[in-house]
Amino acid sequence: MFDTIAQYEAEIWQAIGETFIMVGFSILAAVLVGLPVGTFLYLCRKGEVLENKVAYQSLNLLVNTIRSFPFLLLVVFMIPFTRFIVGTGFGTAAATVPMVVIAIAHYSRLAEQSLLDIPKGVMEAAVSMGASVKNIIFKFLYVEARSGLVVGLTTSTISFISYSTIMGVVGGGGIGDFAIRYGYQQYRTDLMLYMIVIILIIVQIIQYAGIALARKIDKR
Protein backbone atom coordinates (compact mmCIF):
# COMPACT_ATOMS: atom_id res chain seq x y z
CA MET A 1 0.00 0.00 0.00
CA PHE A 2 2.63 2.50 1.07
CA ASP A 3 4.75 1.64 -1.94
CA THR A 4 1.91 2.44 -4.29
CA ILE A 5 1.13 5.66 -2.49
CA ALA A 6 4.80 6.64 -2.48
CA GLN A 7 4.96 6.01 -6.20
CA TYR A 8 2.07 8.38 -6.89
CA GLU A 9 2.83 10.75 -4.03
CA ALA A 10 3.40 13.89 -6.07
CA GLU A 11 0.23 13.38 -8.07
CA ILE A 12 -1.80 12.62 -4.96
CA TRP A 13 -0.58 15.79 -3.29
CA GLN A 14 -1.46 17.76 -6.35
CA ALA A 15 -4.95 16.24 -6.41
CA ILE A 16 -5.43 17.10 -2.73
CA GLY A 17 -4.23 20.62 -3.43
CA GLU A 18 -6.72 21.03 -6.29
CA THR A 19 -9.56 19.80 -4.10
CA PHE A 20 -8.53 22.29 -1.42
CA ILE A 21 -8.50 25.14 -3.93
CA MET A 22 -11.96 24.33 -5.27
CA VAL A 23 -13.48 23.68 -1.85
CA GLY A 24 -11.63 26.60 -0.26
CA PHE A 25 -12.99 29.12 -2.75
CA SER A 26 -16.43 27.58 -2.31
CA ILE A 27 -16.28 28.09 1.45
CA LEU A 28 -15.07 31.65 0.94
CA ALA A 29 -17.96 32.36 -1.44
CA ALA A 30 -20.43 30.67 0.90
CA VAL A 31 -19.43 32.97 3.76
CA LEU A 32 -18.87 36.19 1.81
CA VAL A 33 -21.89 35.93 -0.50
CA GLY A 34 -24.08 33.00 0.61
CA LEU A 35 -24.43 34.28 4.17
CA PRO A 36 -25.53 37.79 3.12
CA VAL A 37 -27.94 36.28 0.56
CA GLY A 38 -29.41 33.95 3.21
CA THR A 39 -29.70 36.85 5.64
CA PHE A 40 -31.41 38.99 3.02
CA LEU A 41 -33.83 36.16 2.24
CA TYR A 42 -34.67 35.88 5.93
CA LEU A 43 -35.16 39.62 6.38
CA CYS A 44 -37.40 39.84 3.29
CA ARG A 45 -39.85 37.30 4.68
CA LYS A 46 -43.33 38.29 5.75
CA GLY A 47 -43.35 40.24 8.98
CA GLU A 48 -39.59 40.82 9.00
CA VAL A 49 -37.89 44.20 8.90
CA LEU A 50 -37.18 44.25 5.16
CA GLU A 51 -40.41 42.48 4.17
CA ASN A 52 -40.48 42.42 0.37
CA LYS A 53 -42.48 39.79 -1.43
CA VAL A 54 -41.02 40.42 -4.90
CA ALA A 55 -37.41 40.39 -3.69
CA TYR A 56 -38.01 37.27 -1.61
CA GLN A 57 -39.75 35.31 -4.33
CA SER A 58 -37.29 36.14 -7.09
CA LEU A 59 -34.22 35.42 -4.97
CA ASN A 60 -35.85 32.29 -3.61
CA LEU A 61 -36.58 31.08 -7.13
CA LEU A 62 -32.99 31.73 -8.21
CA VAL A 63 -31.56 29.84 -5.24
CA ASN A 64 -33.94 26.93 -5.77
CA THR A 65 -33.17 26.77 -9.49
CA ILE A 66 -29.42 26.61 -8.93
CA ARG A 67 -29.80 24.04 -6.18
CA SER A 68 -32.10 21.78 -8.14
CA PHE A 69 -29.94 21.90 -11.28
CA PRO A 70 -28.17 18.55 -11.65
CA PHE A 71 -24.65 19.63 -10.76
CA LEU A 72 -22.90 17.95 -13.66
CA LEU A 73 -25.26 19.71 -16.08
CA LEU A 74 -24.77 23.02 -14.27
CA VAL A 75 -21.02 22.72 -14.77
CA VAL A 76 -21.37 22.07 -18.49
CA PHE A 77 -24.16 24.61 -18.94
CA MET A 78 -22.03 27.28 -17.30
CA ILE A 79 -18.95 26.79 -19.50
CA PRO A 80 -19.58 29.92 -21.65
CA PHE A 81 -20.01 31.99 -18.50
CA THR A 82 -16.92 30.42 -16.94
CA ARG A 83 -14.93 31.19 -20.05
CA PHE A 84 -16.09 34.77 -19.84
CA ILE A 85 -15.04 35.05 -16.17
CA VAL A 86 -11.67 33.26 -16.08
CA GLY A 87 -10.83 33.24 -19.79
CA THR A 88 -10.91 29.47 -20.14
CA GLY A 89 -13.44 26.70 -19.66
CA PHE A 90 -10.83 24.18 -18.56
CA GLY A 91 -8.65 23.69 -15.46
CA THR A 92 -8.88 24.16 -11.71
CA ALA A 93 -9.67 27.89 -11.90
CA ALA A 94 -12.47 27.20 -14.38
CA ALA A 95 -13.82 24.44 -12.18
CA THR A 96 -13.98 26.85 -9.27
CA VAL A 97 -16.60 29.03 -11.01
CA PRO A 98 -19.54 26.58 -10.95
CA MET A 99 -18.38 25.42 -7.50
CA VAL A 100 -18.67 28.98 -6.22
CA VAL A 101 -22.14 29.37 -7.74
CA ILE A 102 -23.50 26.20 -6.16
CA ALA A 103 -21.76 27.08 -2.87
CA ILE A 104 -23.55 30.42 -2.64
CA ALA A 105 -26.94 28.86 -3.36
CA HIS A 106 -26.32 25.94 -1.01
CA TYR A 107 -25.16 27.93 1.99
CA SER A 108 -27.63 30.78 1.59
CA ARG A 109 -30.45 28.29 2.11
CA LEU A 110 -28.83 26.75 5.19
CA ALA A 111 -28.02 30.18 6.62
CA GLU A 112 -31.62 31.29 6.12
CA GLN A 113 -32.72 28.12 7.90
CA SER A 114 -30.43 28.80 10.89
CA LEU A 115 -31.85 32.31 11.17
CA LEU A 116 -35.38 30.91 11.10
CA ASP A 117 -34.50 28.81 14.14
CA ILE A 118 -33.94 31.91 16.28
CA PRO A 119 -36.84 32.48 18.69
CA LYS A 120 -39.20 35.21 17.46
CA GLY A 121 -38.68 37.18 20.66
CA VAL A 122 -35.07 38.00 19.83
CA MET A 123 -36.19 40.02 16.83
CA GLU A 124 -38.93 41.67 18.91
CA ALA A 125 -36.39 42.72 21.51
CA ALA A 126 -34.07 44.06 18.81
CA VAL A 127 -36.76 46.13 17.11
CA SER A 128 -38.13 47.40 20.42
CA MET A 129 -34.64 48.65 21.34
CA GLY A 130 -34.51 50.67 18.15
CA ALA A 131 -31.78 48.62 16.46
CA SER A 132 -30.96 49.48 12.84
CA VAL A 133 -31.01 46.68 10.27
CA LYS A 134 -27.21 46.42 10.43
CA ASN A 135 -27.30 46.12 14.22
CA ILE A 136 -30.14 43.61 14.10
CA ILE A 137 -27.97 41.43 11.87
CA PHE A 138 -24.68 41.69 13.72
CA LYS A 139 -25.73 42.22 17.34
CA PHE A 140 -28.73 39.90 17.41
CA LEU A 141 -29.18 37.49 14.51
CA TYR A 142 -25.61 36.29 14.03
CA VAL A 143 -25.04 36.13 17.78
CA GLU A 144 -28.00 33.86 18.37
CA ALA A 145 -27.68 31.82 15.17
CA ARG A 146 -23.91 31.36 15.31
CA SER A 147 -23.82 27.66 16.15
CA GLY A 148 -26.49 26.91 13.53
CA LEU A 149 -24.47 28.87 11.01
CA VAL A 150 -21.36 26.84 11.83
CA VAL A 151 -23.24 23.53 11.56
CA GLY A 152 -24.66 24.72 8.23
CA LEU A 153 -21.22 25.65 6.92
CA THR A 154 -19.92 22.24 8.00
CA THR A 155 -22.71 20.51 6.08
CA SER A 156 -22.12 22.76 3.08
CA THR A 157 -18.36 22.11 3.09
CA ILE A 158 -18.94 18.37 3.02
CA SER A 159 -21.28 18.83 0.06
CA PHE A 160 -18.66 21.00 -1.67
CA ILE A 161 -16.15 18.16 -1.34
CA SER A 162 -18.66 15.84 -2.92
CA TYR A 163 -19.36 18.30 -5.75
CA SER A 164 -15.62 18.72 -6.33
CA THR A 165 -15.18 15.04 -7.18
CA ILE A 166 -16.79 15.45 -10.61
CA MET A 167 -14.77 18.46 -11.64
CA GLY A 168 -12.58 16.23 -13.81
CA VAL A 169 -15.10 16.85 -16.60
CA VAL A 170 -13.73 20.36 -17.03
CA GLY A 171 -10.18 19.48 -16.08
CA GLY A 172 -10.56 20.71 -12.53
CA GLY A 173 -8.58 17.80 -11.13
CA GLY A 174 -8.84 17.01 -7.45
CA ILE A 175 -9.00 13.81 -5.46
CA GLY A 176 -12.17 12.58 -7.16
CA ASP A 177 -10.70 13.10 -10.60
CA PHE A 178 -7.56 11.19 -9.61
CA ALA A 179 -9.71 8.31 -8.35
CA ILE A 180 -11.72 8.20 -11.55
CA ARG A 181 -8.72 8.43 -13.87
CA TYR A 182 -6.79 5.63 -12.18
CA GLY A 183 -9.48 3.58 -10.49
CA TYR A 184 -12.10 3.59 -13.25
CA GLN A 185 -10.24 4.27 -16.48
CA GLN A 186 -7.09 2.24 -15.65
CA TYR A 187 -8.67 -0.41 -13.41
CA ARG A 188 -6.52 0.61 -10.43
CA THR A 189 -9.16 -0.16 -7.82
CA ASP A 190 -6.55 0.08 -5.07
CA LEU A 191 -5.76 3.70 -5.93
CA MET A 192 -9.45 4.55 -6.05
CA LEU A 193 -9.88 3.00 -2.62
CA TYR A 194 -7.02 5.06 -1.15
CA MET A 195 -8.59 8.22 -2.54
CA ILE A 196 -11.93 7.30 -1.04
CA VAL A 197 -10.22 6.77 2.30
CA ILE A 198 -8.53 10.17 2.05
CA ILE A 199 -11.88 11.83 1.34
CA LEU A 200 -13.54 9.97 4.20
CA ILE A 201 -10.83 11.12 6.60
CA ILE A 202 -11.09 14.74 5.46
CA VAL A 203 -14.89 14.66 5.79
CA GLN A 204 -14.69 13.12 9.27
CA ILE A 205 -12.24 15.77 10.43
CA ILE A 206 -14.41 18.59 9.08
CA GLN A 207 -17.55 17.10 10.58
CA TYR A 208 -15.92 16.60 13.95
CA ALA A 209 -14.32 20.04 14.05
CA GLY A 210 -17.51 21.76 12.89
CA ILE A 211 -19.71 20.10 15.50
CA ALA A 212 -17.15 20.67 18.26
CA LEU A 213 -16.91 24.37 17.40
CA ALA A 214 -20.70 24.72 17.17
CA ARG A 215 -21.06 23.18 20.64
CA LYS A 216 -18.38 25.35 22.12
CA ILE A 217 -19.95 28.61 20.99
CA ASP A 218 -23.50 27.64 21.92
CA LYS A 219 -24.34 29.06 25.35
CA ARG A 220 -28.11 28.83 25.09
Partner 1 sequence: MITLHNVSKQFEQFKAIDSVSLSINQGEIYGIIGASGAGKSTLLRLINLLEVPDEGEVEVNGKVLTSLKSKPLNQARQSIAMIFQSYNLLGNKTVYDNVVVPLELSGIPRKDRQDRVMESLQFVGLESFKGQYPAQLSGGQKQRVAIARALANQPDVLLCDEPTSSLDPNTSAEILSVLMNINERLGVTIVIVSHEMDVIKSVCQRVTVMEDGKAHETVTIDPTGIQTIDHSAEGYVTRLMKDGGRGV
Residues that bind partner 1 (CB under 8 A): 119, 121-122, 124-125, 127-132, 135, 139-140, 143-144, 146, 217-220
Per the CB < 8 A criterion, the answer to whether 118 and 141 are in contact is yes
In this structure, the number of other CB atoms found within 10 A of the CB of residue 43 comes to 21
Closest separation in Å from C-beta 129 to partner 1: 5
Nearest to partner 1 of 143, 205 (CB atom): 143
Nearest to partner 1 of 190, 218 (CB atom): 218
Nearest to partner 1 of 149, 158 (CB atom): 149
Residues whose CB is less than 8 angstroms from the CB of residue 104 and which lie 6 or more positions away in sequence, other chains included: 29, 30, 33, 34, 37, 66
Closest separation in Å from C-beta 51 to partner 1: 11
Closest separation in Å from C-beta 220 to partner 1: 3
Residues whose CB is less than 8 angstroms from the CB of residue 84 and which lie 6 or more positions away in sequence, other chains included: none
Closest separation in Å from C-beta 125 to partner 1: 4
- Closest to 156 (Cα-Cα) out of 13, 62, 35, 60: 35
Nearest to partner 1 of 5, 217 (CB atom): 217
Per the CB < 8 A criterion, the answer to whether 164 and 172 are in contact is yes
